[in-house]
Amino acid sequence: MTVKTTTHILGYPRIGSQRELKIAQEKYWRGEISQAELKEVGSLLRHRHWGEQTGAGLDVVTVGDFAWYDHVLGTSMLLGHLPKRHRSGFPDLDTLFRVARGKAPTGCACAASDMTKWFNTNYHYIVPEFSTDDEFTVSWPQLFEEIAEAKQAGHAVKPVLLGPVSYLWLGKEKEQGFDRLSLLPRLLATYQQILTKLAKLGVDWVQIDEPVLVLELPKEWADSFKIAYQVLHGAPKLLLTTYFDNITHHLDAIVGLKVDGLHVDISAAPEQLDEVVKRLPEHWVLSAGVVNGRNVWRADLAALIERLKPVKAQLGERLWLASSCSLLHSPMDLDLETEIDPEVRQWLAFAKQKCRELTLLAQAIDGNDIALDECARYSAPIKARASNTLVNNEQVRKRSEAITDGLAQRTLPYQERARVQRQSLGLPLLPTTTIGSFPQTDEIRTQRRDFKAGRLSEQDYVTAMQGHIGDAIERQIKLDLDVLVHGEAERNDMVEYFAELLEGFAATRFGWVQSYGSRCVKPAVIVSDIYRSEPLTVSWAQYAQSLTDKPVKGMLTGPVTILGWTFPREDLSREAIANQIALALRDEVADLQESGIKIIQIDEPAIREGMPLKATQWQDYLDWAVKAFKISAASAEPQTQIHTHMCYSEFNDMIESVAALDADVITIETSRSDMELLHAFEEFEYPNEIGPGVYDIHSPNIPTVEQIVDLIEKAEAQIPAERLWINPDCGLKTRNWNETEAALTNLVEAAKVLRQQYQPKAV
C-alpha cells in the first residue's frame, strides 16, 4: 500500500488578495485607525490564508510567515535584537515600524535601519545591525501567539523560523574589526529557548530556513552550521530549508548536520535532485520544492509525476512535496483575473492555485488514477504552448540574432562626450535633480483608473495628465532644481507601465506582490517575444520639455530591470529576453533624442539582484546584462546625456561592471547606509559622473541642509566635486508633496552651500 505523501508550502503571501494589509498599515501610519484595528486586519488575513491552504488539501499550514513589514525584521523583534536607537519602549509594534521607516505613530523619529534585497529577488528586508555587546532574548510573542491562534482554529501547523547562521549573515557590523559570526554562541542560546517554547506548544516540525547554504560561503561560515545544529537538535524536529539555487557544493557538510530533514529547491536547480536523494541520511525526510514559488507559470504536473515516481519508490513516506520557496513572491489568486486573455490564463497559476497543484501532484504519485488523469489534462495547455505561433515572432528573433558587439557602443568615449554635454547643457557644479517620479496623489490614481475603466475619455485623460506634468514642472522651477523630470503621473509602476505598452506582455489586475513593507508591485507576465510597436514615452517628455528651458529627463526603465521585475518566460533564456527588451528601448531612446530630449535616464535598479547567487557565475551574467543596457543606450548621440539609477545595491561585487555600463551619470542609494556604499569606490576609480542619494525617500523624515552637506562631503572624499550630482535615493511617488518639497528645498540649499565651498577647487 502506498503511503500518503505529505504536502506543505514554505510560506504564503501576507498582503491579501486586495492588498488589505497594505491599506490597513498606511491608515495606521496616518492615524486613521488604531493599532488594535490594524492587528484585527492581520488576524483576519492569517485565518483566511490558513483556510486557503487547508482548503487546497495541504497537510499542514505554515505559521510564522506573516510579517508586519518583513520577516527578517520580525526575527530581530523575536530575538530582542534591535538597534540601540530604537530600543526605547520595546517591545511594541511601533518599535518595529520605527526601525523599518524611521517613524511610527508613537516614539522618536530615529534613523531607519538599512534595507536591501532578499537574495536575488525584488523583496527587501531590514538589515540587522550587530555590535560586540549585543545580547539576545526571546522578546516578541508574535510567533507563539500565531501558533496558538492557528491551532485553536483547528489547523495542523508547521512554524517557519529564519535560521541563526543566515540571520547573522544577512546583517552587518556596526563596528570596525568586529566579526558578527562571533555572536553565534549567544544567539544559539536564544534559539534553544525558542525551540523549547515551540515544543511545549505541541509543535512537531519546524521549518528552519538557512537560505545562505546556496551561496559559496567562506569556510568559517560554512563550518559554523555544524556547531549550530549540534546545539539546536532535539525537539521539535528540524526541516533544514534552502531555496533559490542548489546546495550540492555544501552537501558533504549538510548530510552530517543534526537535523531531521532537508528542503531543496528543485524548481530553481532540478539537477540537484538525484544527488540529494542518493546522499540523504536514512532517517531524514526530503522536502522537494517542485512547484515554482517565484513564477506564475502552471506546473507541468505530468512531467513532474514521471520525475518523482522513482523518488517516491525509494523514499516512501520520507518524500514531502512543497513549493520551491515561499509563495510570498507569487500573486495571490488567479481566480480573480477574469479579464486576462483566456488562452494566457490557462498557462498560469498563482499562490492559491499552486497549493492545489501540490495536492494533485501528491495524489497522482501516490497512485490515484483520477488524479493522474487530471494532471494530464492540467499539463496539456503548457505542452501546447511550445508550438504556439503567437508566442514566437520571427522578425524579433532575426533582429536579436543580428546583434553585434558594435551595436552596444556609443560613438565617442565618456571623456569626449562629457565635454560635448557640458557645452550643450550648461549645468552648474553639483547639479541637482530627482530620480523621476513625484507623489502619486489620490486624484492621479483615480484619473488613471477612470481612464482604464472607460469612465474618462482619452482626450480628457491626456489633458488631466498634462495638468499634473505642468504642476510638477512648475514646482521644480520654484525649487530651483537644475535638471527636471515630468513626474510620471501617467505611470502606475516603473515596469508595469512599459509592460502594458510593449508587445509580448500580459498584465494582471490583482497580481500584487509585496516588495517591502506596504509597497506592492504588480509584475506583468512575459508571454511571447517582445517588441515596440509605437513610441512609449515621447509625447509626455516632449510636453514637459515644452514648458521650460531647463533640461527635462526622458525616463525609461532598463532591460534588465524590466526582465527582473516581471514574470519571465521559462522557455527562453534571460539573456535572450533582455536583448529583445533592449532593442525596443534602443528605438525609444532614438525617438526621445529626435524629439529634443537632451538627457535620458535608463533605470537599472534590478541589475544587482539579478546576479546569480554563486560568485563563480557572476561574470557571465554581468557580461550579458551590461551589454543589454548598452544596446538600449547606444543609439544616443554624444550630446545626449545618458543617466542610469540603481537603488539598494551592493556595488563592491560589481563595481567594474557598473563602470562598464558607460552611463554618463549614475545615481545610487547611499543615504540610509550613510554613504557606506561609496566604499566600493575606494579601490576603484569610477570614471564617469555619480549622484549619491542624500534623501532616504523610504522614510517620512526630512533631511536637514546640514545632513545633506555632510553626506556630500563624505562622497567628495571618493569622487571629485566636478563629477558629483545631488539627488534623492529613489523616486518620490510614495511621499506626499509637503515632505517632497521640504526635502528638495533643503537639497537645493545644500547644493548652493557646497558650490561656494567647492567652486575654487573645481575651477
Rounded CA-CA distance 350/331 in Å is 5
Please, which residues have CB within 8 angstroms of residue 199's CB and are 6 or more apart in sequence?
Answer: 234, 235, 236
The question of whether 86 is a catalytic residue gets the answer no
Rounded CA-CA distance 495/231 in Å is 46
Q: Provide φ and ψ at 281, rounded to 5°.
A: -55, 150
Q: Provide φ and ψ at 209, rounded to 5°.
A: -80, 120
**H or E segment and range at residue 523:** none
Task: Output the nine-digit C-alpha cell for 576.
Answer: 535572450
> In sequence order, what are the beta bridge partners of 556?
602
Instruction: Measure Cα distances from 216 to 246, 250, 603 in Å.
Output: 11, 8, 29
Rounded CA-CA distance 697/645 in Å is 14
- Kindly report the three-state secondary structure assignment for every residue of 34-102: CHHHHHHHHHHHHHHHHHHHHHCCCCCEEECCCCCCCHHHHHHHHCCCCCHHHCCCCCCHHHHHHHHHC
Distance separating the N- and C-terminal Cα atoms of the chain: 85
> In sequence order, what are the beta bridge partners of 601?
555, 643
Task: Output the nine-digit C-alpha cell for 706.
Answer: 546640514
Q: Provide φ and ψ at 156, rounded to 5°.
A: -80, 130
Rounded CA-CA distance 693/709 in Å is 12
Rounded CA-CA distance 290/323 in Å is 6
Closest CA to 243 of 10, 513, 74: 10
**Helical spans, DSSP H, in 366-391:** 369-385
CB atoms under 10 Å from CB of 32, counted, come to: 10
Rounded CA-CA distance 586/88 in Å is 52
Rounded CA-CA distance 123/737 in Å is 26
Per the CB < 8 A criterion, the answer to whether 277 and 248 are in contact is: no
Per the CB < 8 A criterion, the answer to whether 82 and 99 are in contact is: yes
Residue position matching grid coordinates 545633506:
708
CB atoms under 10 Å from CB of 571, counted, come to: 11
Rounded CA-CA distance 642/342 in Å is 40
Residue 482, amino acid: D
Phi-psi region of 521 (alpha: psi -120 to 50; beta: other; left: phi over 0): beta
CB atoms under 10 Å from CB of 126, counted, come to: 27
Determine whether 63 is exposed, middle or buried from the number of CB atoms within 10 Å of its CB (0-12, 13-18, 19+): buried
Task: Output the nine-digit C-alpha cell for 679.
Answer: 566604499
**Helical spans, DSSP H, in 480-598:** 496-501, 538-545, 559-564, 574-594
Catalytic residue set:
698
